Amino acid sequence: MLLFVLFAAILVVPGLKGADADLSLLRITTATFPPWGVGIVGGAGLLTALVPGSLLLMTSATCLAKNVYRVARPDTPDTQVAQLAKALVPVLALVCLYFTFNGGSSLVSLLLMGYALVTQPFPAVVGSLRPRPKITKQAATAGIITGVAIVAAVTLTGVTIGDLIPFLPQAVKDFNVGIIALALNVAVTLTVSASTRAPARATQPATPTPELNSPT
C-alpha cells in the first residue's frame, strides 16, 4: 500500500523532497477530494495511528522498566515495575513528540534504519542453530555492536556508502547501509569467534586395565 501511495504521489504532486514526502497521502487527498473528504481521510489516519502508536509506547516503557531499571535493581517488586512502566509512557510520548517536530529524518529514513538495526543479530542467531555453536558470546556481542554502531553513525551523520568509498561501482554505492553493516558484522563475528573459541581437547586413547591373575 505504501508503494502505491508513493508512486501516485510522484504523478500527482511531484517534487516532494525530504520530510515533505511524509505528507504524500495528505497532499494527494487535498488535490483530489473536497474538504469533507479530506476531513474523513485525516480522521481515519489519526485513528489508525493511535493503535500502533499506543502499543509502541507501552512496549517501550515496559522494556525500559523491566530490562533496564529492574536489571539495575533486581530486588524491585513487580508492582513497582508496573507503576514505573505506566509513568514512562507520557515521558516517552513527549520525547517522541520533540523529535517529531525537531528531527530532520523522514519516516522512510527511520524505517530503513529500523530494518537495518533489527537484522544485525542475524549472524549470531544463525550461528547458534548448530548443535555445537561455533560462535562465542563475545563474538556475537562484538558483531552486533559493530553493526549497530555503523548503522547509527551512517544514518545520523547523513553520509552514504558512496561518500565513504567513492571508488566503488555505482551499484554498490546504492546498497542500503544495513547490507554493509551486516557484512562487517559477519567479519567481526568470525574474527572474534576464532580468537575467543576454546581449543578443542585432544581425546586420549583409553588405557587398558591390566587383568589381575587369579591365584590357581
Q: Is 78 within a domain?
A: no
Q: Is 55 within a domain?
A: no
At 31-47, the pLDDT tens digits run 888 888 888 888 888 88
CA dist 123 → 65, 115, 132, 155, 195 (Å): 28, 15, 15, 21, 17
Nearest-angstrom CA–CA distance, 76 and 65:
10
Q: Is 185 within a domain?
A: yes
> Is residue 116 within 8 Å of 176, Cβ to Cβ?
yes
Q: Is 19 within a domain?
A: no
Q: Is 128 within a domain?
A: yes
N-term to C-term CA, the chain: 94
Angle between helix 2-12 and 24-32 (nearest 10): 60
What's the whole-model pTM score? 0.55
Domain that holds residue 131: 105-195
Q: Is 188 within a domain?
A: yes
Q: Is 96 within a domain?
A: no
Number of domains forming the structure of the chain: 1
Q: Which residues have a Cβ under 8 Å from the Cβ of 58 and sit 6 or more positions away? A: 85, 89
At 61-85, the pLDDT tens digits run 999 898 888 888 888 888 999 999 9
Q: Is 146 within a domain?
A: yes
At 175-211, the pLDDT tens digits run 777 888 888 899 999 898 888 876 655 455 555 555 5
